[in-house]
Structure 1
Amino acid sequence: MLQSGASEHAQVDAIAHASTAPEFRPIALWRATADPLFDSSASSGITARQPVDEYPGSAVVGGSKRQNRARSAPASLERKLEAKVKDVEAQLSQVNAQLAQLRHQQQELEIQNQVLENKTQTHSSLSPTAEDVLLWKGDAAWHEQANSSHDHAWALNLTVRQNDCYVTVNDLCQLPLAKLTKLYTVLAVSMHNPNLLYKLDQSRMDLGCAVQETASDECFRRLVVAMSYSKEQIQDLLHLRRLFYGRQGVLDRQRRDLVGKLSSNEAMVMTDSPPQSNYSVLTSISHELRANAAEEHCLRLQCCCACFRGIHTSKQCATGMVHMYPFMLQRGRLFVELAAQIGEPSVRELMTGLSKSDAQHMADWQHVVTYLDKLSLNHLDMHCPLLGIQQ
């Protein structure tokens, strides 16, 4: 009986141990048997066990799963929010790009509108409007011109060398290029100021105003090399230099004589009791001095045209302007450098002109005037010999 009781307890422990194994799946275990020994032990105070859970650690496993789900829920929510934020940012950048494009198109349209407005104002200013008529209502000359314009063609009243010239616009537009160029040259020379020409000759192209600084001698030495003059061109330039300074010497001597007469007549005016008799002499001398200055100014222009329009080619002129930038290409400095290289007489010796008379110098310069009359637009790209005209 003792052995059977011990074996019974061993069987119960084995079943309890097996209930914890994964292969064992009963819902509940009741300690109940039909053995009378077991009933007797129950009657002796041993109570039956309460139902036991299948997996003692199943509650821990379920709690860990719930914790994992609780932890993974915020992470998935954050990922969704990040995706939505990125989507919104992409849409916002696209909208900003479209807005920038629309602003650029708006600026282009505003610029086009401004250009059209300017064109409209320009075209409207070319024709007299009602406002212009009101502004010039009291001007009889304007009314006469406006009335004549309806019946006759528009015309220009030109004053060239103290001579009036009435030219219609249609006739002016039909002038050939050579005549129009000559007309423009005459007008430019008529309005020219010798002092302005001197300032322009001493000016710099980058500043647009007269300055004291001038190009160095080394710059002109490099210029002569860059020009690549032919032997005939050098001979013509030096010959033009001799004729120019010889003619300028004649004008200089005439001016000194006039100044001397002017000084002596001024002294006579101050000493004589009736000074009115000498006023006419002073006036005549003043006019001669003014004519002398005008002739010298014309001489400089003729020399410049013969140098750069006849002897130099258009390519050499462009080379000189580029090489001398920002300074101007000066004819006088170019003459000085060429004369120094060849060994020509100085400017003072040429202006003295003791080897020739004043009449001979004037006759020699007349050949340069003839040379200029034969130049045309067809000669700009070539060298026109000056010595051939002289001979």
Structure 2
Amino acid sequence: MPSASSPTLDANLLRRLPKVVLHEHLDGSMRPSTILELAAEIGYDQLPESEPGALGRWFFEGADRGSLAQYLEGFRHTIALLQTEAALERAAYEYLEDSVADGVVYSEVRFAPHLHTFEGLGLDAVMHAVLRGLRRAAVDFDTGFGLIVCALRNESEELSIKLAELAIAYRDEGCVGFDLAGEEAGHPANRHLRAFQLVQRMNFNITIHAGESFGPESIWQALQYCGAHRIGHGTRLVEDLAVHDGKVIKVGNLAQYVIDHRIPIEVCLQSNLHTGATPTMEAHPFPLFVDLGMRVTLNTDNRLMSGTTMTDEYLVAVNTFGCDLDALETLSINGMKSAFLHYDERVRIIYERIKAPFAKLRGEMGLEARQIYGGPA
């Protein structure tokens, strides 16, 4: 990994950097103030706090317990409040508004549409509401977005097929991919095989949560059974590496496949600590993956639950792993290379919204221009 260098990469500077986020959940990234307002509108009385700062801390403290199952508990509140078109549209709009304020130039946000039908909305109404909010915000804040539909591992294959069909139906409206989320242990991805085969036959995009709470077998299955184009989290791919004194001395067949085929890894540093995917931040395999030349992207997962932003994730990369400006630029470019967006748009955003601002910032700092952009393909 590169070492940190002057000028100091503090939060104010990092917030200015153009960033790309590919792994973030809509219902895990709401503003505490919005949660309180939506609860007041419908008379929802289950929230444990009545002030935004205290509520935000409650969500974070509840999520930061080293268990994915416990991490997911707070979602019952946000999902309960996202059961109307107005609430969904507002959450989607604010999601992009907050992303842009944090320096994000392109964002893919995911959610499970069927979890928002408990009060009578149909799946189409849910999709229309979220896409309305995203489109309005994209125009108002001059940013790019993609929406990803999530199925859940613990639910039926029939429902997953229905959600895959839904994602495909909205591919021309802003939906860019299909995901499988939820607890991995006891819920293998290949139980949803027909849904993924449908997505593949329709030339659509697949990302799968894998290697977060289960080992390399989960990643292997996501790739080789289900045809994943990206891996969400992928932390436990480290178990396919032999590491001695902090250095990789042998790369297993699965890890080598990920490297050779440029499979993007959607790394979520702080979330991985909170769910127990890594025992400490220092033990996270992020620097090993980077040094091996993997297509590593950096993401937030759930801004509310993990009390984080992309700026915060970049701060961890700088302060814990010694990332310098070049390394951060590579992370942003990796994210855009890996986006479920048409190739010409990816290239345009890389050159206009990422490379150009980084070059301008180097000029302001009196730094030499970077000679080689982007690192590995």
TM-score, normalised to structure 1, is 0.18
Higher helix fraction (1 or 2): 1
Higher strand fraction (1 or 2): 2
Select the structure with the greater relative contact order (CA < 8 A; seq sep ≥ 6): 2
Larger Rg: 1
